[in-house]
Amino acid sequence: MSVGITPNPILQGPTGATGPTGATGAAGATGPTGATGPGGVDAINAQTGTTYTLALADKDSLVTASNASAITVTIPPNSSVAFAVGDLVNVIQKGAGQVSFAQGSGVTIRSTGATATAPKLRAQYSSATCIYEGSDVWYVVGDIA
């Protein structure tokens, strides 16, 4: 004879709405592996010119910079491109032209680069992530010089 266990309706078990396989659990629709969970980059934006200003469409994406000459990536003020706090933009130097980051009007860049407010990617295939803190303050972290 087996004894059945009646689940407590107040608590959610492993397969409940918030459990590992539930709607908001690890494998659920909004969990880490679900349809709206975090994943890779949303898109790749290939840039081949010598200047580029980040756009809202670059959020959670990868901007590739490929040119033989130096490339300047400008981070615009929030008044012209309304990034949200915590937004990320990834940038990679595909070409030989060194990528440097420039502050748009009123923007502050913070980084460990030799020029903290105008960091550069170190070499071809180096990458960095631009992280928006809010109030026109951005962090640029990665393989920078």
d(Cα 120, Cα 96) in Å, to the nearest integer?
13
Does residue 70 share a domain with residue 34? no
At 61, the pLDDT band (50, 70, 90 cuts) reads very high
The average confidence (pLDDT) of the chain is: 86
Confidence of residue 18 (pLDDT cuts 50, 70, 90): low
Query: What's the pTM?
Result: 0.74
1 within a domain of the structure (yes/no): no
pLDDT tens digits, 87-109: 999 999 999 999 999 999 999 99
CATH code of the domain in which 108 resides = 2.60.120
User: 60 with 87: CB under 8 angstroms?
Assistant: yes
Percent of the chain with pLDDT over 90: 68
**Does residue 26 belong to any structural domain of this protein?**
yes
Q: Report the C-alpha gap between 13 and 21 in whole angstroms.
A: 10
pLDDT of residue 16: 60
- The answer to whether residue 77 sits within a structural domain is yes
- Tell me, yes or no, whether 69 lies in a domain: yes
CA 63/CA 92 separation, integer angstroms: 6
Please report the pLDDT score of residue 40 as a whole number. 78
> How many Å apart are CA 49 and CA 89, to the nearest integer?
18
Q: Is residue 98 assigned to a domain?
A: yes
Nearest CA among 144, 102, 100, 107 for reference residue 122: 144
Total of domains in the chain: 2
**Residue 3 is assigned to a structural domain of this protein:** no
Verify that 27 and 87 share a domain, yes or no. Answer: no
Same domain, 70 and 88: yes
- Quickly count: other Cβ atoms within 10 Å of residue 127's Cβ: 19
In a domain, 50, yes or no: yes
4 falls within a domain: no
The rounded Cα 73 to chain-centroid distance in angstroms is 15
Range of the structural domain that residue 29 is part of: 9-39
Q: Bigger pLDDT: 115 or 118?
A: 118
Quick one: which of 45, 80, 138, 145 has its CA closest to 129?
138
